[in-house]
Amino acid sequence: MTIQEILKILTDSGIEPNEANVEVKMLLEHFANYGAKDIVMGNKLTAEKLEIVKEKAELRARTRKPIQHIIGFADFMGEKFIVNPSVLIPRDETEILVRKAVEIINENNFKMALDVGTGSGCIACMVAKHTDCQIIGLDVSTDALNTALDNASRLNLFNKAIFRKSDVFSNVKPRESFDIIISNPPYIPKGTKLQKEVEFDPESALFTKDDKGLEFYEKITKGAPAILNEGGYLLFELGIGQAQAVKEIMKDFKNIEIIKDLAGIDRVIAGRL
């Protein structure tokens, strides 16, 4: 068995060659402690380690289970986050949301933030890491909250990223208020057909009950003014084609800004109370 034969296992299953290359490198690094330096140095892999990597590649090819679930980690903004079937795998698009939030927080010297639907805690953790803000991450899933707490602990973000069980704002305490609310909410209309890998993400983090995917934008926007400080911000990640509808939902906010991703898709919306 060779690395090229392992790569072929993935490409033969329909995984695009460039993606397969990246995934084989991830498998080699994680399960065989074998990286680019070893390749340059001409270091050889043992048959035992190659067999382990082959088994993981076969699992990926056979089930289309995301590579991040097989490894147990996902890369996000230069850090490795624990992921599992109870949380969304962090995506590159969400970095745009986090970077905008960090920019706003640091420009305004904000001290209290709220992350609604925190999942793995990747948004809360990176906001906590790159600002002087304390952030509370809310989620309805106990398993997701446990994962978020593990991620915050690994990054030594004690007392900066805090997590609490809550259905949207149901467990926000009396007299609590925030300078900024951030959310990557479920925004896929129920019944939408997704690629196989995405089906491993938790349904509750993906789908809405309405046919336009706007359910949580409406709920969060409606409740936000009651807990936002004067001049506070509301930021959302957007689904494809939802920018104008969400802008209308946020009509009571001013200075609305819509930010595109690298593909030119409207991906983040920000507004000030």
d(CA 256, CA 258): 7
pLDDT digits (tens, 9 = 90+) for 8-33: 999 999 999 999 999 999 999 999 99
pLDDT digits (tens, 9 = 90+) for 243-261: 999 999 999 999 999 999 9
Q: Is the pLDDT of residue 44 over 90?
A: no
Helix (H, G, I), strand (E, B) or coil at 62: helix
The confidence band for 205, taking pLDDT boundaries of 50, 70 and 90, is confident
pLDDT digits (tens, 9 = 90+) for 136-187: 999 999 999 999 999 999 999 989 999 999 999 999 999 999 999 999 999 9
Confidence at residue 262, expressed as pLDDT on a 0 to 100 scale: 93
pLDDT digits (tens, 9 = 90+) for 86-102: 999 999 999 999 999 99
Confidence at residue 26, expressed as pLDDT on a 0 to 100 scale: 94
Instruction: Report CA dihedral (99, 102, 106, 107) to the nearest 10 degrees.
Output: 50
Confidence at residue 1, expressed as pLDDT on a 0 to 100 scale: 81
Confidence at residue 36, expressed as pLDDT on a 0 to 100 scale: 77
Share above pLDDT 90 across residues of the chain, in percent, rounded to a whole number? 85
pLDDT digits (tens, 9 = 90+) for 209-234: 888 999 999 999 999 999 999 999 99
Burial label for 18, CB within 10 Å (0-12, 13-18, 19+), is exposed
d(CA 52, CA 138): 38
The two beta strands, 134-139 and 161-165, are parallel
Write b or e for each residue in 36-55: b if 16 or more Cβ atoms lie within 10 A of its Cβ, otherwise e.
eeeeeeeeebeeeebebbbe
Confidence at residue 211, expressed as pLDDT on a 0 to 100 scale: 86
Q: Is the pLDDT of residue 199 over 80?
A: no
Report residue 244 as tokens. Answer: 């104008």
Confidence at residue 195, expressed as pLDDT on a 0 to 100 scale: 80
Confidence at residue 222, expressed as pLDDT on a 0 to 100 scale: 97
The confidence band for 189, taking pLDDT boundaries of 50, 70 and 90, is confident
Candidates 184, 83, 74, 177; CA nearest to 134 is 177
213 and 243 in contact (C-beta within 8 Å)?
no
